[in-house]
Structure 1
């Protein structure tokens, strides 16, 4: 006589509500638990319909200009006071600080180039008195330009060796160092920003 077949227990049916609740539980688990209520469909749709640009563009642009002006004021004050943390990004870091100190400690032709240009301008205005004044002024101007370019080349060669000895060969991979040094060398010493902190002859170690 054959034994009766074992009847398998029926598996519990998965209702739609339980699957929805399970999905919500998983979503809450991924977001860090049920610490906050799940947004309703109306709230989610309202968030999607929120405009990406402000309604009052003129007021937003004015507020942005005020914010940018305040940031520039902070940077300008930092350039004058030496607060490197608030300086523009181009002036931050030990490499840029070393370049500034080296340029400020060195006497170069570029430092006096604008003074010489002013003299040449006066000589040009006086050319009506004598044509030789204009010729001499023009020759001196070109000679000064050539000497300033040569001096800038010498400056970069000296500075490059010091940078490699101080920071290693990888420092030369930083773009804009030569332009940063030469641009500062052609500025009035009193008008340089950040303000010089060393005197002539006080080269950085």
Structure 2
């Protein structure tokens, strides 16, 4: 009726699990305490403010990290999506004259106020600079539209021209989300 296991029984050799969760399983007492701590609602106004401050801090840290890395999950709504990412990459992969407009404005203001002989030169230079920037941004817009139609043929492109122009006018090191491509880098054909 009862069988004895023989010593010659085949031992089931199951593969050894190499990876684990990396920490010991918490005791029941620890698990219950952690669950209660998560479920406990703040009772006083001071505790509520501290909890809200902690939540805001965590979300702002995620947003700040996303702005550095371009992580689409935590970006603000104005920067989300493959078309916005492509627009950022398209603008960042080109050198535009519009990037120089802010430093050149400062230079022309200094020239204009330094002496009256240089004032006409500063005004003429600024006028030429503004014309060059407008021409460069129009050129950027047509190139962007062509590439968007090639990569996203069935979508609407509403708001992307403004988004590209605002990004192109900013100084490169101040752009947010941070630039993920270098000047002259080829862009991939698929953005999803």
Q: Does 1:76 align with 2:61?
A: no
Aligned counterpart, 1:103: 91
Q: Assess if the C-alpha contact under 8 Å between 2:68 and 2:177 holds in 1.
A: yes
1:119 alignment partner, one of 107, 124, 130: 107
- Partner Cα distance (1:81, 1:104) in 2: 14
1:185 alignment partner, one of 159, 168, 181: 168
Q: Deviations over 1:8-48 (max 9, x none)?
A: xxxxxxxxxxxxxxxxxxxxxxxxxxxxxxxxxxxxxxxxx
**1:62 to 1:135, Cα distance in 2 relative to 1, 3 A:** farther
Q: Deviations over 1:96-150 (max 9, x none)?
A: 1111111011111111111211211221231xxx312111111111211121111
Between structures 1 and 2, the one with greater helix share: 1
| Structure 2 residue matching 1:190: 3-state secondary structure | helix
Q: For the aligned residues, what is the CA RMSD?
A: 2.4
* TM-score, scaled to structure 2: 0.66
Q: What are structure 2's unaligned runs of at least 5 residues?
A: 1-43
Q: Does 1:151 align with 2:139?
A: no
1:163 alignment partner, one of 133, 143, 148: 148
Q: Assess if the C-alpha contact under 8 Å between 1:101 and 1:203 holds in 2.
A: no
Larger radius of gyration: 1
Aligned length: 146
Q: How does 1:3-42 map to 2 (within 5 A)?
A: none
| Structure 1 residue matching 2:173: 3-state secondary structure | coil
* TM-score, scaled to structure 1: 0.62
- Partner Cα distance (1:97, 1:132) in 2: 47
Q: What are structure 1's unaligned runs of at least 5 residues?
A: 1-55
Q: CA deviation at 1:69?
A: 5.8
Q: Assess if the C-alpha contact under 8 Å between 1:164 and 1:171 holds in 2.
A: no
- Partner Cα distance (1:65, 1:132) in 2: 57
- Partner Cα distance (1:122, 1:70) in 2: 44
